Amino acid sequence: MIFFPPPVQPFARRLSSTSSSPSSAGPSNTTLPEAPTPSRSADFFNVRRPRSVLRRASEPVTSVIEAKDGLSGRPGSCRSMSTSLPPPILALTTTLRFPRQDHAPITTASLPTNPRPVVSTFAKITRQGFGALPLELRVRIFQYLNVTDVMRAARVCRSWKMLAYDGTLWSNIDVTPFYKNISGEQLLALGVAAGGFLTVANFRGCIQLTNHALRTLAECCPNVHTLQLTGCSSASSASIACFLGQATHLRVLDLSGLVNVSNHTLQTVAASCPELRKLNVAWCKNISALGIQAIARGCPKLTYLKINGCQHLDDPTMEALGSSLSILTHLCLASCTTLTDATLLSFLAATHGQLTHLNLSQCQRLTDEVLRHLATHATNLTHLELAGCAALTDPGFATLCARVQSLTYLDLEDCIAISDAAVRTISASQPNLRRLALSNCGEITDDAVTHLLTRGSCARTIEHLELDNCSQVTDAALATLAQHLATLPEDAAPIQAMASSPDSVSFFSSSPPVGSPSSAFFSPPSSSITSTHPPLNPPTKRKLSIEVYDCAKITEQGIREACRRAPPGKLRIKSFYSWRDARGRDDPDSDSDDEMPDADGGRTTAVGAAVAMAAAAAQHLQAGQLAARRRRAQARATQTDIGCIIL
């Protein structure tokens, strides 16, 4: 035992020579002798200890160590030593003992003889691992994992499973990467675990989503504002209506291609979802004018409406859409074959002039009269798709371009009645045009193409031109374009690039829903739902892309010569011959990116890439077989007779 008496006063009092027990020893006023020595009586070691108090931390201390013989237990030597300890150490790690003094206060509570060490949080986490972290931090770490990794982590232990099914992890459920592998029970478990945290639910293609699961999710997830049920063919009309009836915060809804969607479903949406901004009911065969009118009256905040393939659009329905949807900016009426000039005029006359995106592809009953109506009532158009409208002619586009000069995307594919005059009108009046589709327009010649790309008002802004199956376009147009690009200064025409922008792809599709959802409709949670234009990126150098598939007068030699003449990185030509350069891209020394386009840009390109990959695999297999034969021959040559057979 260690005790620290005061340094000035003697640490022990005179012992009575007649005392034989600890009770006879007490405080006295006699003079104190010097420090005891081992020759003194053994009763010294049995004397009653003074009361424990805390010594002043600023004074030095003299420690007296009592020792006994380890074997016999008899008193051993007693020695004193002086040491100076820092105040914090004295206050935290020692118990000081000295006789009571009148000037020294006595503390009522003293520190324990063996205080427990102070363990830091870092040391605790290091010893106990991930489980020592607070719950909020563990959940935050799980948020950095993708869905597949979270599901794998749930199999580690019970505590990780509880973390994996924490509701804050599932505010956005997107089953696109694994919709074929997840079961209905797991899908329901995710939705129930998310509960009120779930805001974005993408169940695209989940045929395992049953009516029971959908009704259960309707009760557990009342805060969903983005819902996609495309391809969920197992869900009935009643269960879809049950979910939509409780999703009062819904703002984005995609029901495209569902046969079970009916007018009753649209009426439920109109009654329960007044905040709806985007609606996609394309190719829903069981909806009619009655359901669309209910949507127009009940969802006045709609900015995006897609009703492709609807065959029941009449004048009252279109007028209701134009008058009720005052902030509508995106309208897709592709493949609505019953749509006529008068029906569309009833919509345009009632609209409020906010329309910027319009798709009328495959509406074959439309004529030049529609273009005159658009020039009068839709002067803010930026995206216009008229693919397959074979009745449109050059005078109609002359009228349209005279009033509408803000187009950035124009699709005229299969407009077989237009000629070079329409292309010249477009090039002279559309300074912001970036993408133009002229595929299957057999009357287009080299003069119109070169005027568009070299002398038109959009020559510095156009980025993509489709000339598929334009039989009058030849290699001369490509050579002229390459020569023009070579004469431009290096820093000419910087453009404001737009990532995944509506300028790069069509906002709508005129065909039934196949593949991944449109980025324009089903936006990620981080982007604004009401935003009509994507964020701008820093200006980049312009790169012109031209598609010339199935052009009979375009040759491989002409394409290579044009790519050779054009400055590196400024011209990309997609053609039937593009796949041949897919093999050259594997060579690090090849410069195929500047000469020929990517292998993923067209219909025949994928086939060519597959052929190239098959040829490379066959060559690799043949080389492997040859090497194996050589090894077997070498082994036979070096084999020695060991007198046994090894099976």
Summarize pLDDT for 452-470 with one digit per residue, the tens: 999 999 998 999 999 999 9
The confidence band for 168, taking pLDDT boundaries of 50, 70 and 90, is confident
The reported pTM is: 0.67
Summarize pLDDT for 477-524 with one digit per residue, the tens: 999 999 998 888 765 544 444 434 444 445 444 444 434 444 445 544
pLDDT at position 125 is 57
Element (H, E) at 484: helix 475-487
At 237, phi and psi to the nearest 5?
Answer: -65, -40
Which 3 state secondary structure label does DSSP give 396?
Answer: helix
pLDDT beyond 70 at 63: no
Which whole number is the average pLDDT over 382-410? 95
In a domain? residue 557: yes
Summarize pLDDT for 318-377 with one digit per residue, the tens: 999 999 999 999 999 999 999 999 999 999 999 888 999 999 999 999 999 999 999 999
Range of the domain at 548: 356-486+542-580
pLDDT at position 394 is 95
Domain at 441, CATH number: 3.80.10.10
Summarize pLDDT for 583-633 with one digit per residue, the tens: 444 443 433 333 333 333 333 344 455 555 555 656 656 666 666 666 656
pLDDT beyond 80 at 107: no
Whole-angstrom distance, CA of residue 433 vs CA of residue 409: 6
Whole-angstrom distance, CA of residue 568 vs CA of residue 543: 10
Q: In what order do the strands lie in the sheet with 79-83?
A: 2-3, 61-65, 79-83
In a domain? residue 208: no
The β-bridge relationship of strands 226-228 and 252-254 is: parallel
In a domain? residue 187: no
Whole-angstrom distance, CA of residue 633 vs CA of residue 636: 5
In a domain? residue 234: no
What domain count does the chain have?
1
In a domain? residue 421: yes
Which 3 state secondary structure label does DSSP give 508?
Answer: coil
How far are the Cα atoms of 139, 225, 333 from residue 125, in angstroms, in the given order? 16, 39, 60
pLDDT at position 154 is 86
- The strand pairing partners of 65, in sequence order, are 2, 79
In a domain? residue 54: no
